[in-house]
Amino acid sequence: MAPDSKRQRLADVLRECGSVVIGYSGGVDSVFLARVAVDVLGAPNVLAVTGKSDSIASWMEDTAREVAERFGIPWLELETHEMRDPRYAANPSNRCYFCKSELWTRLADVARDRGMGAVLDGSNADDVGDHRPGAVAATENAVRSPLLEAGLTKAEIREWSRELGLPTWDQPAAPCLASRIPYGIAVTPERLRQIETAELALRALGFRDFRVRHHDGLARLEVHPAEIARVAEHRAGIAEAVRAAGFRRVLIDLQGYRRGSLNEGLAGAQLVQLGAFG
């Protein structure tokens, strides 16, 4: 489908919905969807909702709020309670299903209470085929995915976001903090705080596209290949940041950051120890 046809299809899907509640994380896709929805449907027919929990990085909440205020997107933040679900906290490979079930159930309640026509997510055409148990929860809750229905890819969404002046157009992907914890290791508020503390410190050092993976007392750092040469330059700062976050040591993964690396497990990963603290 040609780009113009995809844009028209997106507008058509939104008009079919009439009024919408959007799962709005502050990431590239949901920000874009909310911005276009306001253009197509008008602000009174759009509500962007951000779920607030320990698993969401504070800087993502800030981005969601700031973009909504800047672009006139009606916005609501509500607390979600996936951490109370022992099935989620146990961190099985379908952990996202339990998180998204909580989120979409809460957003369906918001949509019903406010008389909104549909609940939407920001899934796009590139998400098809990924390990996405959260998509099952979306289907069960009748959540629509207009970007996917229109066939829009991530690259196309970024380009259109740039045209719209959205500051998120080149923002790196930022899934929840729990995605940094290997399956089978319990998700706890303390572990999530450790991850966020370490990642905020690395962002302050200028790193942009990376993950701090939590392996109990050990942090495995994945940095985008374009930035990996800077690791040696900031060795001391990285070690200090990780220690301050409560880890005993940090390893650098020489394969660099890539999506879905937790599905690989540690077997075969190339690791170089940067620092250890007794």
DSSP string, 165-180: T-TTTTPPP---GGGG
Q: Please choose, from the candidates 228, 198, 235, the residue with its C-alpha nearest in 3D space to the C-alpha of residue 214.
A: 198
Q: Which of helix, strand or coil describes residue 125?
A: helix
Tokens (6 digits) for 197? 């503390």
pLDDT at 167: 97
Instruction: Label residue 94 exposed, middle or buried (CB < 10 Å: 0-12, 13-18, 19+).
Output: middle
For 227, other C-beta atoms within 10 Å of its C-beta total 17
pLDDT at 130: 66
pLDDT at 263: 52
pLDDT at 134: 85
The DSSP H or E segment spanning 96 is: helix 95-114
pLDDT at 258: 67
For 22, other C-beta atoms within 10 Å of its C-beta total 28
Q: Which residue has the tokens 């990780």?
A: 242
Does the reported pTM lie above 0.75? yes
Task: For strands 20-23 and 118-120, give the pairing.
Answer: parallel
pLDDT at 276: 42
The DSSP H or E segment spanning 16 is: helix 3-17
> How far is it, in rounded angstroms, from Cα 231 to Cα 240?
13
Spell out the long-range contacts of 160-164 with Cβ–Cβ below 8 A and sequence spacing 24 or more: 160/7, 160/32, 160/36, 161/28, 161/31, 161/32, 161/35, 164/32, 164/35, 164/36
Q: Where are the alpha helices (H) located in 164-257, listed in sequence order?
A: 189-204, 230-233, 235-244
Backbone angles phi, psi at 78, to 5 degrees: -135, 150
> How far is it, in rounded angstroms, from Cα 35 to Cα 163?
12
pLDDT at 257: 81
pLDDT at 264: 52
What does pLDDT average to in each consecutive run of 10 residues of the chain (278 residues)? 89 98 97 98 98 93 97 97 95 94 97 97 88 87 97 97 97 92 95 97 93 94 91 92 93 79 45 40
